[in-house]
Homo-oligomer: A and B are copies of this chain.
Amino acid sequence: MYKLASLQTQSKTVVSVGSVRFGDGGFAMIAGPCAVESQDQIGATAAAVARAGAAMLRGGTYKPRTSPYAFQGLGDTGVMLIAAAGEQTGLPCVTEVLREHQLALTSKYVDMLQIGARNMQNFGLLEAAAKTGKPILLKRSASATLDELLYAAEYILLKGNENVVLCERGIRGFDPETRNVFDLGGALRLKELTHLPVIADPSHATGRSSLVEPLVLAAAAAGLDGAIVEVHPNPAQARCDAAQALDLEAFGRLMNRLAPLKASLQIPA
């Protein structure tokens, strides 16, 4: 059985990323494009989501793409662009890492490292990322049980890095109407099993931008610790995941609906 990840081992962990805190009873919003595409794109997105109240900036630059013919991301250049956008807006930023050799640059310039669903059981990467000491956003694989996710977290914790935030991003389902099945019940059950913070990724979970706002509200109402959503200045032009990205205006509306809900549930702003 996993030990360090278990709620029986210790009380709730609060993970700090810059001034942002996950697991302190608040609901932190991470927003940004699927992929960093250009300085303008990431800069405009960062400015807009910061204005709307996002706590952190996301953006992929090493992209794990099902097809080798799909846009693979800007690589190292993207790291510098998201770091600059974070700097300018004051938002801590998170990007996904796929290979160990990417850790040197990313851990120097970004504030949190994401291990994506496809790499949840890439144990070498987990351990190497752990050793950077940076906070880690660990996504649940589409076919992982909660146990398997917590064992993956255990690989990180065992290396002495306790700054792990877990993320439910959809499990494999049988209905093509949504890209995956957003397992909110599983995410809540996870919080009964572990002291680590748990956030939601409704963008990847559903693949439909129209479902992002209601699912973020649901995640907040249910007591998760935050959400990560895809936002793009012009979703129709996005180089990946166009169907699930919110535009800047829609993100603003979402934040405006979220605020009174948080207040009603006494979730700190």
Residues of A within 8 A of B (CB): 1-2, 64-68, 98-100, 118-119, 121-124, 141-143, 145-148, 151, 154-155, 158, 170-178, 181-186, 188-189, 192-193, 202, 205-206, 208, 210-211, 214-215, 217-223, 257, 260-261, 263-265
- Residue from B119, B148, B193, B265 within 8 A of A260 (CB atoms): B265
Most interface-central of A64, A124, A221, A223 (chain B CB within 10 A): A221
Cα(A210)–Cα(B189), bound, Å: 9
Beta-carbon nearest neighbor of A157 in chain B = B68
Cα(A264)–Cα(B177), bound, Å: 30
- B185-A211 in contact (CB<8A): yes
- A158-B68 in contact (CB<8A): yes
- A121-B118 in contact (CB<8A): yes
A197 CB, nearest partner CB in chain B, Å = 15
A135 CB, nearest partner CB in chain B, Å = 20
A255 CB, nearest partner CB in chain B, Å = 14
- Residue from B186, B205, B257, B264 within 8 A of A261 (CB atoms): B264
- A99-B121 in contact (CB<8A): no
- B222-A218 in contact (CB<8A): yes
Cα(A151)–Cα(B72), bound, Å: 14
- B155-A68 in contact (CB<8A): yes
Beta-carbon nearest neighbor of A154 in chain B = B68
A154 CB, nearest partner CB in chain B, Å = 5
Cα(A109)–Cα(B210), bound, Å: 41
Cα(A123)–Cα(B64), bound, Å: 7
Cα(A98)–Cα(B122), bound, Å: 8
CB contacts (< 8 Å) of A218 on chain B: these are: 184, 218-219, 221-222
CB contacts (< 8 Å) of A2 on chain B: these are: 67
- B143-A142 in contact (CB<8A): yes
A11 CB, nearest partner CB in chain B, Å = 18
Beta-carbon nearest neighbor of A176 in chain B = B176
A198 CB, nearest partner CB in chain B, Å = 12
Return 19 A-B CB contacts under 8 Å, by A number.
A64-B123, A66-B148, A68-B154, A68-B158, A98-B124, A99-B124, A100-B100, A119-B122, A171-B174, A171-B181, A173-B183, A175-B186, A177-B189, A185-B205, A185-B215, A189-B208, A215-B222, A217-B223, A218-B218
